[in-house]
């Protein structure tokens, strides 16, 4: 009887999905239109206009993210340094772990008020509801992008590519300032955001400061080993690819590209394989509960400590290559879909400009590439200088002093306090 009822329920759900399919298609089409993208946040825009009748609080700094649950990454470093340099700062954080996560009802009031009354508004990723808003001249909207370097194309650099922006859209275009990791890539960031290159400042990336503290690197590496029971003699390979898909809602990684247990067997007991999928993707242990011989670390939100512990990094088109290059350790680029990725997403420079390591397209060759991975010191030095020259261990201090504190060097001429 129970099985029959269960079967009926499944049939009803299947019929329901079929009936709703045309409406879902229509919903997707509406969501892609420029009209929808400009007006979907109308209640926040109206709330912003309402609260804009109040004066800006000269001490209030807002940290906003739709891709993290709290002060982590660049935000963690900036918050601590801002508190040090400006004890009078009123720091407000409003977070959501992902675009698909439910936004609390209180944000309907809190967000417009915070955005309208803050002297500084900081974002570190795509933040859709703020783009239709005309930022008050008394305020600054600053993008401190979470990643380092310029690798795969993002934002307006994807215009005309699948998943790219809609022509005439407003995404990213209202930033007062944006920061990046090197002078050589300022134009790439300006293109991505659709803003003038003069608004992009090569001040560094806060979360890279820790890579210049050798004692801290050893401490964090030891902590990772202790956390996962990795023996002192074992080497660590960190497999950390980026996602496939157009963004948070469609992100995935083809987990069948690698025979995970076989990879661990081929490397042997002298190695431990740690797998960290992109934060937008499901953990490997959810996708493949049958895999037993690798350690999934996807739920660790920030990758810095894992990079410090790794002896070899395996990745593809992820910006982690720039942070890991600061450690001068070997990399392997596992890219079975390189040609497809170029046609769908592409890069700011030819792919071989980024490959400071071995390139592999067949999962069967991965173990050998890892075991024999080496570093070309001259090539690595040139790579680091090109993409991360502004990352010198003082990025956080510089961004706070030059952008965030009252009277900062890059305060806009129209700002009034």
User: Is 348 in contact with 317 (CB distance < 8 Å)?
Assistant: no
Which among 193, 176, 47, 67 is positioned nearest to 112, based on CA atoms? 47
pLDDT of the residue at 101:
84
pLDDT of residue 323: 96
Give residue 333's pLDDT. Answer: 98
- The confidence score (pLDDT) of residue 413 equals 55
Residues 289 and 266 sit within 8 Å (Cβ to Cβ): no
> What's the confidence (pLDDT) of residue 284?
84
- Output the pLDDT for position 417: 38
pLDDT of residue 255: 84
Residue 22's H or E segment, with its range, is: helix 2-32
Exposed / middle / buried, residue 225 (Cβ in 10 Å: 0-12, 13-18, 19+): middle
* Domains defined for the chain, CATH in brackets: 38-205+394-404 (3.40.50.11820), 210-388 (3.40.50.12580)
Pairwise CA distance, residues 201 & 248, whole Å: 27
CA 363, 364, 366, 369 torsion-angle sign: negative
Closest to 83 measured CA to CA, from 310, 405, 410: 405
Question: Along the chain (417 residues), what's the average pLDDT of each consecutive run of 10 residues?
Answer: 59 67 60 61 94 96 94 97 98 91 89 97 96 96 97 94 88 97 98 98 97 96 95 94 82 88 94 91 84 90 93 96 97 96 94 95 95 96 97 98 94 53
Total-model pTM: 0.87
Residues forming a β-bridge with 250: none
Q: State the sign of the Cα–Cα–Cα–Cα dihedral 113, 116, 121, 124.
A: positive
- Per residue in 111-141, pLDDT (tens digit) is 999 999 999 999 999 999 999 999 999 999 9
């Amino acid at each position: 009887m129970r099985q029959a009822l269960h079967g009926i329920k499944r049939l009803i759900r299947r019929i329901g999905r079929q009936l709703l399919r045309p409406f879902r298609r229509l919903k997707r089409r509406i969501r892609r239109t420029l009209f929808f993208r400009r007006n979907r946040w109308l209640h926040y825009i109206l709330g912003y206009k309402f609260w804009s009748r109040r004066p800006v609080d000269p001490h209030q700094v807002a940290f906003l993210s739709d891709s993290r649950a709290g002060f982590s990454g660049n935000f963690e470093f900036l918050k601590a340094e801002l508190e040090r340099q400006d004890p009078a700062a009123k720091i407000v954080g409003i977070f959501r772990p992902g675009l698909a996560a439910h936004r609390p009802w209180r944000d309907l009031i809190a967000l417009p008020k915070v955005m309208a009354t803050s002297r500084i508004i900081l974002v570190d990723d795509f933040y859709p509801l703020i783009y239709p808003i005309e930022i008050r001249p008394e305020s600054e909207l600053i993008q401190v992008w979470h990643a380092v370097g310029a690798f795969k194309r993002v934002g307006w650099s994807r215009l005309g590519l699948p998943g790219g922006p809609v022509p005439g859209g407003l995404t990213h275009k209202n930033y007062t300032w944006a920061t990046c990791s090197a002078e050589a890539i300022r134009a790439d960031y300006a293109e991505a955001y659709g803003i003038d290159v003069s608004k992009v400042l090569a001040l560094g990336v806060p979360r890279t400061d820790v890579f210049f503290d050798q004692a801290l690197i050893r401490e964090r590496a030891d902590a990772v080993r202790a956390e996962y029971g990795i023996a002192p003699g074992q080497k660590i390979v960190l497999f950390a690819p980026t996602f496939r898909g157009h963004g948070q809602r469609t992100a995935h990684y083809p987990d069948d590209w690698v025979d995970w247990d076989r990879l661990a067997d081929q490397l042997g007991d002298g190695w431990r394989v740690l797998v960290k999928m992109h934060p937008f993707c499901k953990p490997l242990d959810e996708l493949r509960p049958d895999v037993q011989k690798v350690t999934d670390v996807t739920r660790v939100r920030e990758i810095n400590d894992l990079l410090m512990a790794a002896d070899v990094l395996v990745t593809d088109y992820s910006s982690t290559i720039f942070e890991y290059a600061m450690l001068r350790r070997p990399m392997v680029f596992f890219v079975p879909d390189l040609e497809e990725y170029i046609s769908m997403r592409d890069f700011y420079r030819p792919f071989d400009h980024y490959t400071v390591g071995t390139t592999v397209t067949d999962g069967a060759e991965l173990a050998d590439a890892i075991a024999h991975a080496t570093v070309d010191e001259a090539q690595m030095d040139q790579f680091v200088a090109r993409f991360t020259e502004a990352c010198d261990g003082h990025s956080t201090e510089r961004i706070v002093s030059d952008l965030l504190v009252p009277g900062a060097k890059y305060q806009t001429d129209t700002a009034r306090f």
